[in-house]
Structure 1
Amino acid sequence: MSDLHEESASVEGKSLNFLEEIVEESIAGGEKRVQTRFPPEPNGYLHIGHAKSICLNFGLARKYGGKCNLRFDDTNPVKEDVEYVDSIQQDVRWLGFEWAGVHYASDYFDQLYAWAVELIRKGLAYVDDQSQEEIRQSRGTVTVPGKESPWRNRSAEENLDLFERMKNGEFGDGEKVLRAKIDMAHPNMLLRDPIMYRILHAEHHRTGNKWCIYPMYDYAHGQSDSIEKVTHSICTLEFDVHRPLYDWFIEKLDIYPSHQYEFARLNLTYTMMSKRKLLQLVRQGTVMGWDDPRMPTICALRRRGYTPESVRMFADKVGVAKRDNVIDLGLLEFCVREDLNKRARRRMAVLDPIRVVITNYPEEKTETVDCINNPEDETAGKREVPFGREIYIERDDFMENPPKKYYRLSPGGEVRLRYAYLIRCDEVIKDADGKVVELRCTYDPMSKGGRSSDGRKVKGVIHWVSARHAVPAEVRLFDRLFVKEDMNDIEEGKTFEDYLNPDSLKTVTGYLEPSLNEAAEGDTFQFERLGYFCVDRDSTAAGKVFNRTVTLKDSWAKMAAK
Structure 2
Amino acid sequence: MSAVDFTSSKAPDSAPSNFIRQEIDADIAAGKLPQGAVITRFPPEPNGYLHIGHAKSICLNFGIARDYPNARCHLRFDDTNPSRERAHFMERIKEDVRWLGFDWGDRLRHASDYFDDLYGYAKRLIESGHAYVCSLSQEEIRSSRGTLTEAGRDSPWRDRPPEQSLDLFRRMCAGEFEEGAHVLRAKIDMASPNINLRDPVIYRIMHAPHPLTGRKWSVYPMYDFAQALSDAIERVTHSLCTLEFEDHRPLYDWFLRTLEIPSPPRQIEFSRLNLTHSVMSKRLLTHLVEQGHVSGWTDPRMPTIAGMRRRGFPPEALRDFCARIGMTKKDNIVELELLENCVREACEPIAPRAMAVLRPLRLVIENFPPDRREDLVAPNHPNDPSLGTRELPFTREVFIERDDFMEDPPAKFHRFAPGKEVRLRYAWLVTCTDVVRDPKTGEVVEIRGIHDPDSRGGNSPDGRKVRGTVHWVSARFGVPARVRLYDRLFHEAAPSPDPQALGGQINPASLEEIDDCILEPSLARVPPGALFQFERSGYFVADSEDHAPDSPVFNRTVSLRDTWGRKRGR
Q: TM-score range by the shorter chain?
A: over 0.9
Q: Secondary structure at the match of 1:342?
A: coil
1:332 to 327, 335, 339: 339
Corresponding residue for residue 3 of structure 2: none
Corresponding residue for residue 454 of structure 1: 462
Which residue identity lines up with residue 76 of structure 1 in the other structure? N
- State the Cα distance separating 1:178 from its structure 2 match: 0.5
> For structure 1, which segment, 479-488 or 214-223, has the greater mean C-alpha deviation from structure 2 after superposition?
479-488
C-alpha spacing 1:483/1:166, structure 2 compared with 1 (3 Å):
same
CA distance in 2 between partners of 1:351 and 1:222 (Å):
54
CA distance in 2 between partners of 1:234 and 1:419 (Å):
54
CA distance in 1 between partners of 2:8 and 2:386 (Å):
40
Which residue identity lines up with residue 333 of structure 2 in the other structure? V
Is contact 2:145–2:198 with CA below 8 Å preserved after alignment? yes
C-alpha spacing 1:54/1:99, structure 2 compared with 1 (3 Å):
same
Corresponding residue for residue 47 of structure 1: 51
- State the Cα distance separating 1:305 from its structure 2 match: 0.8
Which residue identity lines up with residue 98 of structure 1 in the other structure? D
C-alpha spacing 1:4/1:73, structure 2 compared with 1 (3 Å):
closer
1:48-98, Cα deviation, whole Å (9 max, x unpaired): 111111111111111113110000000001000000000000000000000
Corresponding residue for residue 27 of structure 1: 28
Give the structure-1-normalised TM-score.
0.96
Which residue identity lines up with residue 89 of structure 1 in the other structure? K
CA distance in 2 between partners of 1:447 and 1:542 (Å):
35
Which residue identity lines up with residue 300 of structure 2 in the other structure? P
Written as runs of structure 1 = structure 2, the 5 A alignment for 1:214-253 is 214-253=220-259
Corresponding residue for residue 81 of structure 1: 86
CA distance in 2 between partners of 1:338 and 1:37 (Å):
30
Written as runs of structure 1 = structure 2, the 5 A alignment for 1:375-394 is 375-394=382-401
Corresponding residue for residue 7 of structure 1: 10
- State the Cα distance separating 1:405 from its structure 2 match: 2.4
Unaligned runs of 5+ in 2: 1-5
1:399-432, Cα deviation, whole Å (9 max, x unpaired): 2222222221211111111111111111122223
> For structure 1, which segment, 285-294 or 341-350, has the greater mean C-alpha deviation from structure 2 after superposition?
285-294
CA distance in 1 between partners of 2:410 and 2:260 (Å):
78
Written as runs of structure 1 = structure 2, the 5 A alignment for 1:111-190 is 111-190=117-196
Is contact 2:270–2:330 with CA below 8 Å preserved after alignment? yes
Is contact 1:4–1:27 with CA below 8 Å preserved after alignment? no
Corresponding residue for residue 453 of structure 2: 445
1:338-383, Cα deviation, whole Å (9 max, x unpaired): 1111000100010111110111111110011111101132211111
Is contact 1:38–1:70 with CA below 8 Å preserved after alignment? yes
CA distance in 2 between partners of 1:282 and 1:6 (Å):
43
- State the Cα distance separating 1:518 from its structure 2 match: 2.2
Q: Secondary structure at the match of 2:390?
A: strand
CA distance in 1 between partners of 2:9 and 2:365 (Å):
68
Q: Secondary structure at the match of 2:20?
A: helix
Corresponding residue for residue 199 of structure 2: 193
Corresponding residue for residue 473 of structure 1: 481
CA distance in 1 between partners of 2:329 and 2:74 (Å):
24
- State the Cα distance separating 1:540 from its structure 2 match: 2.8
1:428 aligns with 2:435: yes
1:222-247, Cα deviation, whole Å (9 max, x unpaired): 11001111111100110000000000
Q: Secondary structure at the match of 1:368?
A: strand
1:307-333, Cα deviation, whole Å (9 max, x unpaired): 111111111111111111111111111
Corresponding residue for residue 69 of structure 1: 74
Is contact 2:293–2:503 with CA below 8 Å preserved after alignment? no
2:214 to 208, 230, 251: 208
Corresponding residue for residue 16 of structure 1: 17
Unaligned runs of 5+ in 1: none
1:512 aligns with 2:516: no
- State the Cα distance separating 1:503 from its structure 2 match: 1.8
Give the structure-2-normalised TM-score.
0.95
Which residue identity lines up with residue 361 of structure 2 in the other structure? I
Which residue identity lines up with residue 58 of structure 1 in the other structure? F
- State the Cα distance separating 1:286 from its structure 2 match: 2.2
C-alpha spacing 1:398/1:47, structure 2 compared with 1 (3 Å):
same
CA distance in 2 between partners of 1:501 and 1:4 (Å):
43
Written as runs of structure 1 = structure 2, the 5 A alignment for 1:249-260 is 249-255=255-261, 256-260=263-267
1:494-530, Cα deviation, whole Å (9 max, x unpaired): 7122101122111112100111012111000010000
Which residue identity lines up with residue 384 of structure 1 in the other structure? E
Q: Secondary structure at the match of 1:292?
A: coil
Root mean square deviation, CA, Å = 1.7
C-alpha spacing 1:270/1:5, structure 2 compared with 1 (3 Å):
closer
CA distance in 1 between partners of 2:127 and 2:26 (Å):
38
CA distance in 1 between partners of 2:433 and 2:176 (Å):
89
CA distance in 2 between partners of 1:252 and 1:287 (Å):
46
Identity %: 55
Q: Secondary structure at the match of 1:472?
A: strand
CA distance in 1 between partners of 2:304 and 2:500 (Å):
24
- State the Cα distance separating 1:160 from its structure 2 match: 1.2
Is contact 1:293–1:478 with CA below 8 Å preserved after alignment? yes
Which residue identity lines up with residue 174 of structure 2 in the other structure? N
Which residue identity lines up with residue 492 of structure 2 in the other structure? K
CA distance in 2 between partners of 1:376 and 1:263 (Å):
40
Q: Secondary structure at the match of 1:210?
A: coil
C-alpha spacing 1:312/1:15, structure 2 compared with 1 (3 Å):
closer
Corresponding residue for residue 278 of structure 1: 285
Q: Secondary structure at the match of 2:374?
A: strand
Is contact 1:4–1:33 with CA below 8 Å preserved after alignment? no
Q: Secondary structure at the match of 2:457?
A: coil
C-alpha spacing 1:319/1:488, structure 2 compared with 1 (3 Å):
farther
1:94 aligns with 2:99: yes
1:534 to 541, 564, 569: 541
Number of equivalences: 556
CA distance in 2 between partners of 1:160 and 1:405 (Å):
83
- State the Cα distance separating 1:109 from its structure 2 match: 0.5
